Structure 1
Amino acid sequence: MTDDDPVAKDGDDLTARDVYAIWQIRDAVFAVEQQCDEPDVDGIDLLPTTTHLWCADANGLTSYLRTYVTEDGTRRIGRVATRKDARGRGLSSRLLRCVHDRWGAEEIRIGAQAYLEEWYGSFGYERSGDGYVEAGIPHVPMIRLGS
């Protein structure tokens, strides 16, 4: 597998090795680097309505995101993370495009870290409300209307 081959797996199809790799990249980015002050494990990862997408190399996951459908039927994207040594190579963009290829006809929502508002905007997301703080980090709600 190379960085050019994104993987997509539904929550109920993940292996223990997949879960470990996912939590490893999220722990490194969110807990260690960003010092998030809320738990990462939230009961969403293993649901059949959750899809995990990632790129990997010989050292593990290089970039990751998850998308899921909420109880009210809204598709959301979250937990977007790229390993420190893999940044600047367009990996998160590649994963986001995979989401849009699969679910682009649907409305998609994201709680984006505020500093990434312009980046998400380049993919058609628009701010949809007031900013807020989540896990100690400023966020903005954003929406991409289905095509």
Structure 2
Amino acid sequence: MNIIIKTFDKLTIYELHDILQLRSEVFVVEQDCVYQDIDGKDAKALHIIGMKKNKVVAYTRCFPPGYYFDQAAIGRVVVDSNERKYGYGHDIMKASKEAIKNRFDTESIKLSAQTYLIKFYESHGFHQIGEGYLEDGIPHVAMITI
């Protein structure tokens, strides 16, 4: 998998289409969750894209400190269901943390994690803060880097 990092204005229409399609496939269809994915925040995000054979197979969007939280933020962490066995979730998280460090000059990151992925995020240096909550009907917890 090849990692590409782009601001919104540098995305091609094909990349944007494929990103939105992957997010819809996983967050809406696979997780059976009707919610508004296109939320107007993509234009402010740094997009971390995992490409394989000209296809988006992994993705996150990252924000500078102060946009979502006091810390930098990672969101919309997603890997194509057919590609998860290759560890691309770990690769895209490492690339996202590195991009935040390089672009936003911080290693302090917060995210909203689906609870079944707590151990995954812990393996990337995050720890849970506060109580769990429902976000779009799915159990989540806030996590920050240690």
Q: What is the TM-score normalised by the length of structure 2? A: 0.88
Q: How many residues align?
A: 140
Tell me the CA shift for residue 103 of structure 1.
Answer: 2.6
Alignment check: 8 A CA contact 1:14 1:46 kept: no
| Unaligned ranges ≥5, structure 2 | none
Aligned pair partner of 1:54 in 49, 52, 57: 49
Aligned pair partner of 2:91 in 87, 91, 94: 94
Aligned to 1:63: 58
Q: What is the TM-score normalised by the length of structure 1? A: 0.87
| Unaligned ranges ≥5, structure 1 | none
In structure 2, do the counterparts of structure 1 residues 51 and 63 end up closer, same or farther at CA, with 3 Å as the change threshold? same
- Amino acid corresponding to residue 115 of structure 2 in structure 1: A
- Any idea what the Cα deviations from partners look like across 1:49-97, whole Å, max 9, x if unmatched? x111121223621111111131665311111111111012111111111
* Secondary structure in 2 matching 1:46: helix
The worse-fitting range, judged by mean Cα deviation, of 84-93 and 8-17 is 8-17
Alignment check: 8 A CA contact 2:61 2:75 kept: yes
**Higher helix content, 1 or 2:** 2
Aligned pair partner of 1:35 in 32, 37, 47: 32
Alignment root-mean-square deviation, CA: 1.6
Alignment check: 8 A CA contact 1:21 1:61 kept: yes
Q: Percent identity?
A: 34
Alignment check: 8 A CA contact 2:75 2:111 kept: yes
C-alpha distance in structure 2 between counterparts of 1:135 and 1:8, whole Å: 28
Aligned to 2:76: 79
Aligned to 1:12: 9
- Any idea what the Cα deviations from partners look like across 1:23-49, whole Å, max 9, x if unmatched? 0100100111001232101111112xx
In structure 2, do the counterparts of structure 1 residues 59 and 16 end up closer, same or farther at CA, with 3 Å as the change threshold? closer
Alignment check: 8 A CA contact 1:37 1:136 kept: no
